[in-house]
């Protein structure tokens, strides 16, 4: 039985990890620590909190007193550190918030864990997993090999730079203080509970509401898409069986450009509306409700500054050492994700109220068609 702290557990990947961990390891004691900023949502965790399957604490990883108190009271033996500001567009608007959470917050958590584990003689059996991103490696050209764990760091956005800095902190703690930590760098995640400002849910929701589907630049930017369930499986493997001090890349092996992803979303929605007449009554503004194509909503807008062209992950190390390989193909995972958002209108209606609309207007309102 492990005593587990999951930071950022009310976020997209965090929620999915909590459910995956609870199902795979029912005897472990789980605590979620989350500051509950705009991207967090407790709805999926409320049943687990109500029946005491997990404990939840609202708090900031940068609050040293709180973090130390939690370690003292609960004696965590596992930390899965997912708390982070993660949206590139927001990092361009407000980089300071990313430095505070991603760099200083990670430092505070590392220091608290190290001190607690040293004083309680848990340093030999504890594990700290730092969850990071492929964006720390920068951008690939069309013919470049995929990122490996030895790829140089070349971050191009404030978000990527803040995550690169936090990766370096973790590595430094391992080397200097014998911190029992590991790092994972993942590709673009998608799946249930993703905040609607990210590409896939944004396009799904805009399409069913009949709103424009804004694609940056010419839509040729390529990402490696990883279903969140595959990511969570890999995270649990790394924290239990990964080698201390090592980095493991986690990718989906599904390189797609943004233009094709949005097109696939549109085509899948067209098919869903054709197969289920009830959707037209629920979403009458969607072109598919009138027998038209959702692709008619697609438009190309001014690109964001420093937009990386291509990401790709070489996950051979993860497969060779831990046996983890992705099981969710992109076509199947995308259909499943679209269906989830169609069935969970109550969830995204709540999330997209208030400040969300102001952010969408702020981020896309000034961009012109190209």
Q: What pLDDT score does 364 carry? A: 43
Flag whether pLDDT at 332 surpasses 60. yes
Pick the catalytic residue from 34, 89, 134, 314.
134
Q: What's residue 303's pLDDT? A: 85
Is 134 part of the annotated catalytic residue set?
yes
- 300-323 pLDDT per residue, tens: 998 888 888 999 999 999 999 999
Q: Considering only CA atoms, which of 126, 130, 131, 133 is closest in space to residue 178?
A: 126
CATH topology (fold) of 194-220+255-303+329-361: UDP-galactose 4-epimerase; domain 1 (3.90.25)
Indicate if the pLDDT at residue 356 is higher than 60.
no
Separation of alpha carbons 312 and 252, rounded Å: 9
Whether the CA torsion 224, 229, 235, 238 is positive or negative: it is: negative
Q: Which one of the listed residues 34, 60, 89, 135 is annotated catalytic?
A: 135
Q: Is the pLDDT of residue 14 over 60?
A: yes
Identify the CATH class of 3-186+227-253+312-328: alpha beta
Average pLDDT over residues 54-76: 97
pLDDT score recorded for residue 41: 87
Assign 194 a pLDDT band (cuts: 50, 70, 90): very high
Could you say which of 159, 248, 311, 341 is catalytic?
159
pLDDT score at 305 = 85
Name the H helices within 94-135: 95-98, 106-119
The pLDDT of residue 56 is above 70: yes
Domain ranges of the chain: 3-186+227-253+312-328, 194-220+255-303+329-361
Question: Which residues, at least 6 apart from 298, have a Cβ–Cβ distance to it below 8 Å?
Answer: 213, 215, 262, 263, 266
Confidence of residue 187 (pLDDT cuts 50, 70, 90): very high
* pLDDT at residue 308 in the model: 87
Given this model, what pLDDT does residue 363 score?
A: 47
pLDDT value at position 358?
A: 54
Strand 181-186 to 213-216 pairing: unpaired
| pLDDT tops 60 at residue 366 | no
Which of 39-43, 70-74, 157-161 has the weakest average pLDDT?
Answer: 39-43
pLDDT tens by residue, 224-235: 999 999 999 999
Q: What is the pLDDT of residues 118-176, one digit of tens each?
A: 999 999 999 999 999 999 999 999 999 999 999 999 999 999 999 999 999 999 999 99
Please say if 275 is a catalytic residue: no
Least confident of 57-61, 221-225, 299-303: 299-303
Residue pLDDT, tens place only, 80-121: 999 998 777 888 888 999 999 999 999 999 999 999 999 999
What is the band of 79 on the pLDDT scale with cuts at 50, 70, 90? very high
Residue 345 is among the residues annotated as catalytic for this protein:
no
pLDDT band, residue 352 (cuts 50/70/90): confident
pLDDT, residue 91, reads 84
Strands 255-257 and 298-301: unpaired
pLDDT(361) > 70 = no
323-329: average pLDDT: 95
The DSSP code sequence of 302-366 is: PPPTT---B--B--HHHHHHH-------HHHHHHHHHHHHHHTHHHHHHHTSTHHHHHHHHHHTT
Let me know if the fold of 3-186+227-253+312-328 is the same as that of 194-220+255-303+329-361: no
Rounded CA separation 327/232 (Å): 12
Angle at 326 between CA 151 and CA 345, to 5 degrees: 110
Residue 93, pLDDT score:
85
State the average pLDDT for the chain: 93
């Amino acid at each position: 039985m492990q005593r587990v702290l999951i930071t950022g557990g009310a976020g997209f990947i965090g929620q999915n990890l909590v459910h995956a961990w609870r199902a795979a390891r029912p005897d472990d004691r789980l605590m979620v620590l989350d500051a509950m900023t705009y991207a967090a949502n407790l709805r999926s965790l409320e049943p687990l909190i109500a029946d005491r399957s997990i404990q939840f604490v609202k708090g900031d990883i940068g609050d040293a007193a709180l973090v130390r108190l939690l370690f003292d009271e609960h004696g965590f033996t596992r930390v899965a550190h997912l708390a982070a500001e993660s949206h590139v567009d927001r990092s361009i608007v407000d980089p300071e918030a990313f430095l505070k959470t991603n760099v200083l917050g990670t430092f505070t958590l590392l220091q608290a864990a190290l001190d607690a584990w040293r004083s309680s003689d848990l340093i030999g059996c504890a594990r700290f997993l730092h969850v990071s991103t492929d964006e720390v490696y920068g951008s690939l050209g069309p013919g470049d090999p995929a990122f490996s764990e030895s790829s140089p760091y070349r971050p191009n956005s404030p978000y990527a730079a803040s995550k690169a800095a936090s990766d370096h902190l973790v590595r430094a703690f391992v080397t200097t203080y014998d911190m029992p930590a590991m790092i994972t760098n993942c590709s673009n995640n998608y799946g249930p509970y993703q905040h609607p400002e990210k590409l896939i849910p944004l396009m799904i929701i805009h399409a069913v509401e009949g709103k424009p589907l804004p694609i940056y630049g010419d839509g040729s930017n390529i990402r490696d898409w990883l279903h969140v369930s595959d990511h969570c499986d890999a995270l649990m493997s790394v924290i239990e069986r990964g080698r201390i001090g090592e980095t493991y890349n986690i990718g989906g092996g599904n390189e797609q450009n943004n233009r094709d992803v949005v097109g696939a979303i549109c085509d899948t929605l067209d098919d869903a509306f054709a197969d289920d007449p009830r959707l037209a009554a629920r979403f009458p503004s969607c072109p598919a409700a009138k027998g038209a194509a959702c692709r008619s909503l697609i438009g190309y807008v001014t690109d964001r500054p420093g937009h990386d062209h291509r990401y790709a992950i070489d996950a051979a190390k993860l497969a060779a050492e831990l046996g983890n390989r992705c099981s969710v193909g992109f076509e199947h995972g995308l259909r499943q994700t679209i269906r989830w958002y169609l069935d969970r209108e109550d969830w995204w209606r709540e999330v997209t109220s208030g400040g969300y609309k102001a952010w969408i207007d702020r981020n896309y309102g000034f961009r012109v068609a190209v």
